[in-house]
Amino acid sequence: MRYCSQCAGLIEQRVPPGDERLRYVCTVCSIVHYENPKIVAGCIPVWNDQVLLCRRAITPRRGLWTLPAGFMENDETAIEAAMRETHEEANARVEILGLHTLINLPAVNQVYLMFRARLLDLDFSPGAESLEVALFREDAIPWETLAFGTVRQTLSLFFEDCREGVERFHMGDILDRSSPPRMFRRPE
């Protein structure tokens, strides 16, 4: 950020009075431009014992497999965002069943919200951002060519829950690409 979006004045990084963090502050009009984490909303579209994955047609991680997910927009709810992304990436219609995972990615200022979902029919196809979309049983999941750690962790917890016959909500953090997920456990 170099210029003020309100007055086009030069921006500098400064700790405003009463604040403790470096912010982008306009040197002309003094307005503070805050930056905050973004929500990535998506789902696990399930058909019997299979899950719908999309192979990415766009950067980053082009060619790798992912669950349908993307940035939540203004004026929508997280569930609406997850359904919209599923339709955009896989031309698929789902019914949302509940929140499955909340994963913080502080290194990239994102919070993933992934929902359990029921695929409503088999009329799906690649959207503009996908090369291919397909259903996978657990033993066919392309674990080595998944696009993101959040997708790996979400799928891994999902199949674990399936084996135990439960529907759980999971919360955790992925601090960086080389760290394993750190999942929250309720203190005793």
Q: Which residues pair with 146 in a beta bridge?
A: 65
Q: Are 64 and 145 in contact (CB under 8 A)?
A: yes
Which amino acid is residue 98, in one-letter code? G
Binding mask 35-74 for its own copies (x = CB under 8 A): xxxxx-------------------------------xxxx
Among 76, 140, 176, 177, binds its own copies (CB under 8 A): 76
135 binds its own copies (CB under 8 A): no
Spatial CA neighbour of 40 closest among 89, 73, 76: 73
Q: Are 65 and 142 in contact (CB under 8 A)?
A: yes
Among 13, 27, 30, 77, binds its own copies (CB under 8 A): 77
16 binds its own copies (CB under 8 A): no
Residue span binding its own copies (CB under 8 A) among the ranges 49-57, 77-85, 142-150, 154-162: 77-85
Residue span binding its own copies (CB under 8 A) among the ranges 45-53, 144-152, 157-165, 168-176: 168-176
Compute the radius of gyration of the chain from its Cα atoms. 19
Both tokens of 62, joined, read 């082009």
CB of 161 to its own copies, least distance (A): 14
Within positions 88 to 127, which residues make up the interface with its own copies, using CB under 8 A?
Answer: 95-99, 102, 104, 106, 109, 111, 113, 118
CA distance 76 to 4: 27
End-to-end CA distance of the chain: 45
Q: Which residues bind its own copies (CB under 8 A)?
A: 1-8, 11, 18, 21, 33-39, 71-79, 95-99, 102, 104, 106, 109, 111, 113, 118, 128, 169, 171, 173, 184, 186-187
